[in-house]
Structure 1
Amino acid sequence: MTPNRLLIVAAVAFPLTACSDMSPTQQRALTGTTGGAAGGALIGAIAGNAGMGAAIGAGAGLAGGLLYDYHKRTEQSAYQRGVQTGQSQRSN
């Protein structure tokens, strides 16, 4: 394997292993932040200030990631309540 290919594989694999011991909330916040920063940097580069775009995008991405996490946790909680209700009705 060439050194460049090895660096590419390491660059892809490292973030995946770094997230393995994170909670789902932390993973969603990180994903939102990095995605927002990347998108913001791209838009900021077009507008003339990639750093400012990345900072704004990271903040918006973090907020989006946390909102999505809240939605998923609420959804899971509702599912668990439904399962418990179904089990208690079946046992009667």
Structure 2
Amino acid sequence: MHVQGAKMRHKTRGLLSLAAIALTALILAGCGATTGERAASGAGVGAAVGAGAGAATGGSATRGAVIGAGAGAAAGALTDEEDIDLSQ
């Protein structure tokens, strides 16, 4: 019983970390002046977040990086320059 509780706490901690990292990635995906720059920065951040999430949850860091890069590139490409104005 004690082992199950420890596993659940570890999994919960990993999911909370993953949520915080994903939120950061979505915010940073808006960095860049052009659609291509935002897609590239989103892919880079997504790959890093995906690799970290894969490793933190006991999965494959490589698979997480590939999935994260795709999601980050899509988020960056779909983010309009006016959506996130860092000059304010």
- Work out whether residues 46 and 70 of structure 2, in 8 Å CA contact, stay in contact via their aligned partners in 1: yes
Match of 1:72 in 2: 81
**Where does structure 2 lack aligned partners over 5 or more consecutive residues?**
1-32, 84-88
- Cα shift readout 1:23-46 (whole Å, capped 9, x = no counterpart): 722211110000000000000112
Output aligned runs, 1:1-92, within 5 Å: 24-46=34-56, 47-68=58-79, 71-72=80-81
Q: Which amino acid aligns with 1:38?
A: A
| Structural RMSD (CA) | 2.2
Provide the TM-score with structure 1 as the length reference: 0.49
How many pairs align? 51
- By percentage of residues, which structure has more helix? 1
Shift in Å at residue 73 of structure 1? Answer: 6.6
How far 1:57 sits from its partner (Å)? Answer: 0.3
Tell me which structure has the larger Cα radius of gyration. Answer: 1
CA deviation vs aligned residue, 1:11-31 (integer Å, no higher than 9, x gap): xxxxxxxxxxxx722211110
Identity of aligned residues (%): 48
- Greater relative contact order (Cα < 8 A, sep 6+): 2
Measured in 2, the distance between the counterparts of 1:52 and 1:42 equals 11
Name the CA distance, whole Å, in 2 between partners of 1:66 and 1:73.
13
Instruction: Return the TM-score normalized by structure 2.
Output: 0.51
Which runs of at least 4 in structure 1 moved beyond 4 Å after TM superposition?
A: none
